[in-house]
Chains A and B, each alone.
Chain A
Amino acid sequence: MEVLMCIICGFLFSAATYLMLSKSILRIIIGTGLLSHGAHLLILTMGGLKNGAAPLLGEHAKWYVDPLPQALILTAIVISFGVTSFFLVLAYRSYQELGTDDMDQLRGNDYE
């Protein structure tokens, strides 16, 4: 199972990279979204996908899945949500102000 998940994560990273290298801001934001999905799944996979009960003591099971990666991912989800929404509004505002979403035109370079 871990092998399959590793490959899926790699695929998500590939797709995210490809989107982030594109010209449109919106695609870049979608790319960051995919990237965070890939990272979260990767953390979960690396924590081990051994079968066991959900990390709730009420289950009275013999084996539980690892709770620590889940806590880490939860933190990461919230943070990436905050950042993504900020980006989204930033993109919206910059498009409104600058009238373009083409990264080739959004250059911080005076020499051109």
Chain B
Amino acid sequence: MTLLHVAILSPFIIAILVPFLHNYFQKIHTGWFILPLPILLFVYFLSLISSTMNGETIRNTASWIPSLGINFTAYIDGLGLLFALLITGIGALVILYSIYYLSKVKEQLNTFYVYLLLFMGAMLGVVLSDNLIVLYTFWELTSLSSFLLIGYWYEREKSRYGAQKSMMITIFGGLLMLGGFIMLYMMTNTFSIREIIEQVPTIAQHHLFIPALILILFGAFTKSAQFPFYIWLPDAMEAPTPVSAYLHSATMVKAGIYLVARFSPVFAGTPEWFWIVSAFGIFTMFWGSFNAIKQTDLKGILAFSTVSQLGMIMSMLGVGSAAIALDSIDDSYYTVAILAAMFHLMNHATFKGSLFMIVGIIDHETGTRDIRKLGGLMGLMPITFTISIIGAFSMAGLPPFNGFLSKEMFFSSMIRIVELNIFNLESLGLLFPIVAWVGSIFTFIYSMVLVFKTFTGKYQPEKLEKKPHEAPIGMLISPIILASLVIVFFFFPNLLAYTIIEPAMASIIPAVLGDGEHFHVHISPWHGFTLELYMTIGVVALGILGYFTLRKWSGIYRFIPERLTINKGYDAALYSLDKSSFHLTRFYMTGSIRNYLLYIFTFFIVILGTSLAVKGGFSFSLEGNASVGIYEVILAGVILIGTITSLFAKSRLTSIIALGSVGYTVSLFFVLFRAPDLALTQLSVETVSVALFLLCFYHLPEFKKPEKKLNFNWPNFIISLGVGTIVSLLALSANSQRVSETISTYFIENSYKLAGGKNMVNVILVDFRGFDTLFEITVLGIASLGIFGMIRLQVRKEEER
């Protein structure tokens, strides 16, 4: 255990203390006790920047299950540190915001902060683990804590629905990802990501390589809400707003991005990786922004916007992977995509975090998030309005905000992909910049909708539940910090470039770097009159046009029928899965024992018959058989007659007597086959059984009328014939192929010598194999006690009445 391990686990430790703090200091908002932790962690991670800047990594191992190669290995490189700073930094701001957002009186703060800390620790564990199994463990913890946080207001049905949906989808992806991890382990025999990367050249041709790639991408796509798994994210907006800001914009949904970035050194360079990541990413980018416009809930817009932005980052990671397929760093302008991805990751966290907090403030101060009810808040909430302008313009990609820089770089990476002539890009590559451009226009439109529908237009106080006014200053601190970062990153982008982004790039695409080389990451707002600039101008022009004509063309959303959406598909799939498994179970679990017996017997016949036939097990020989005597034939005839009588007897008395006759014939068989003890026992047992039957005779049920006739049942007949045939065949085969000699010579020789008895059967029963007898006595004892119990129980019940 090192300081780094303590840092990762500290949120879990503090989470244990939260309920005590909550109960003993009820006058103080619990959030104040939590706030120092992420700040401390943030400062600690800041102090590590100097080492990752020089290309150093920190790797500390604590043993967990060393025998299985599963160790808690904490690993810090540029990528991990970027995410750790994001998690702790935004975490601190969100906790500060939540202190003012959540009421001390109305809400259960202890559970909230326990879940939030659980999530923070899990997220730190995900980004700072080198071991795949540990990473998976923390990954599922993030799913779990997200589930708990979405369902925080568990008395609302929509919260429960959203929580369940996100759980189903992310756990589905998480399990597939685990499958991919195990495949990686099978190929490389190690769970350490570092060691896997070293082995990449040898495993690239392995037949599990591509399946592992696809399974791991399932994990990333479900978590990061890529098409078509994005559907859980809009429903997760039922969570409290600090949660939406933290989990569903800045951190958890970026776990998938992290996973893709982390595994880029392993899988990037293959066409599968390039195409899946960039095509799904770019389509998600378009689809999310297209759908965001039709939302009427502010958080709904932001949710689809998050989907869209995540798709954008994902597509840049995919496009950047092409850089690895090229050989040298001289083609460095392909690495601009990775640079843009990392830069936009941070930018998105800043402006999306602030926008969520703004929406939370609006909700808090007006009582609604519906843009149809809102309007004209500009004069009432000037600070909120300013922050939202900054956030939304940054999201739309306008200067002087950081979104402009990352959007420019996004365009340039998309344009340059056209020039590549690998992976079939010469024909399909042109689609990327076009889709990206169209998606950006929609992004511009919904960003404008978000701000101007809320803050300008007609003020409608009659539709609002509360009288709106500016938020308390405590609530505004966090969004103000984030919004100022939005501007700072624009004017001083190189503040981040060599400190944070360059080390992160080095860990995503290490292959293109030689020893001691560094990426050239100069980010500047002005490139001259390039194609990117004209594209942005086009986005703004068409975006403004689209915004003002929104009413005219928003009819296109009605062309997509509601029931064809993925949400309906998900609901229908869940419903039909439920229904069909119910029907399937009802179909075969009829409750009738007869049906179950039919299944069992059929299975018995099919399995034994097939294996007998397939393996050629049947054989028949008369060698060593005893000769057939006349007595045995007569007794066999008696058994046949007795059995048939008991089968078809019309009265139960005949049946019972026929059964008795079979029993007595069996004991006569025992006499013939020289088994005196058996004959004795069988005779007495049969007598007692028949006596028992007769004792119960008056109480026993009469055979039912329909069965009195020869009511012949063909299926039953065929099944029973099959069972008998199989038993006969097996017995004949076994009899014809005796493998080894009997061990009974030992009993014959030693019965007298060792045990001092001449009756071998009895000696075996009480001496050689006495334990059998002991428990057979126990069985009889239990049976008699059971019978006694059954009869006594009835008496007692009648007394009660």
Q: Which residues of A contact B (CB under 8 A)?
A: 1-4, 6-27, 30, 33-34, 37-38, 40-42, 44-58, 64-68, 70-71, 73-75, 77-79, 81-86, 88-93, 95-97, 100-104, 106-109, 111-112
Cβ–Cβ < 8 Å partners of B780 in chain A: 78-79, 81-82
Interface residues of B in 644-665 (CB under 8 A from A): 644, 646-647, 652, 655-656, 659, 662-663
A2 touches B626 (CB 8 A): yes
Segment of B308-316, B363-371, B669-677 in the binding face: B669-677
Interface flag for B545 (CB, 8 Å): no
B779 touches A78 (CB 8 A): yes
Instruction: Knowing A34-B646, A68-B742, A81-B685 are in contact, say whether A75-B662 is a contact too (CB < 8 A).
Output: no
A17 touches B724 (CB 8 A): yes
Cβ–Cβ < 8 Å partners of B734 in chain A: 46
Instruction: Knowing A30-B659, A37-B662 are in contact, say whether A45-B731 is a contact too (CB < 8 A).
Output: yes
B655 touches A30 (CB 8 A): yes
B678 touches A12 (CB 8 A): no
A51 touches B626 (CB 8 A): yes
Interface residue from B589, B685, B700 paired with A26 (Cβ < 8 Å): B700
B591 touches A109 (CB 8 A): yes
Interface residue from A33, A64, A97, A104 paired with B748 (Cβ < 8 Å): A64
Cβ–Cβ < 8 Å partners of B23 in chain A: none
Cβ–Cβ < 8 Å partners of B675 in chain A: 44, 54-55, 65, 70, 73
Interface string of B724-757 (1 = CB under 8 A from A): 1101110110110000001110011001100000
A18 touches B592 (CB 8 A): no
A8 touches B682 (CB 8 A): no
Interface residue from A26, A52, A68, A90 paired with B764 (Cβ < 8 Å): A68
A67 touches B724 (CB 8 A): no
Instruction: Knowing A18-B647, A68-B764 are in contact, say whether A86-B678 is a contact too (CB < 8 A).
Output: no
Interface flag for B597 (CB, 8 Å): yes
Instruction: Knowing A3-B622, A6-B728, A91-B700 are in contact, say whether A74-B677 is a contact too (CB < 8 A).
Output: yes
20 more contacts with CB within 8 A, not counting A10-B725, A15-B646, are: A7-B728, A9-B727, A13-B727, A18-B716, A21-B719, A23-B704, A23-B707, A44-B670, A44-B675, A54-B674, A56-B759, A64-B748, A71-B761, A71-B769, A71-B772, A81-B685, A81-B689, A89-B787, A95-B701, A103-B593
Cα(A101)–Cα(B380), bound, Å: 81
For residue A65, give the distance in angstroms from its CB to the closest CB of chain B. Answer: 5
Segment of B123-131, B560-568, B629-637 in the binding face: B629-637
Q: Describe A's contact surface by its main secondary structure.
A: helix
Q: Write the chain A residue with the least CB distance to B625.
A: A2
Interface flag for B696 (CB, 8 Å): yes
Q: Interface size on B (CB < 8 Å)?
A: 98
For residue A32, give the distance in angstroms from its CB to the closest CB of chain B. Answer: 10
Q: Which residues of B contact A (CB under 8 A)?
A: 586, 589-594, 597-598, 601, 622, 624-629, 632-633, 636, 639-640, 643-644, 646-647, 652, 655-656, 659, 662-663, 666, 669-670, 673-678, 681-682, 685, 688-689, 692-693, 696, 699-701, 703-704, 707, 713, 716-717, 719-721, 723-725, 727-729, 731-732, 734-735, 742-744, 747-748, 751-752, 758-761, 764-765, 769, 772-773, 776, 779-780, 782-784, 786-787, 790-791, 794
For residue B601, give the distance in angstroms from its CB to the closest CB of chain A. Answer: 6
Interface residue from B626, B682, B704 paired with A50 (Cβ < 8 Å): B626
Interface residue from B696, B703, B724, B794 paired with A88 (Cβ < 8 Å): B696
Interface residue from A7, A56, A104 paired with B760 (Cβ < 8 Å): A56
A108 touches B591 (CB 8 A): yes
Q: Write the chain A residue with the least CB distance to B620.
A: A3
For residue B766, give the distance in angstroms from its CB to the closest CB of chain A. Answer: 10
For residue A46, give the distance in angstroms from its CB to the closest CB of chain B. Answer: 6
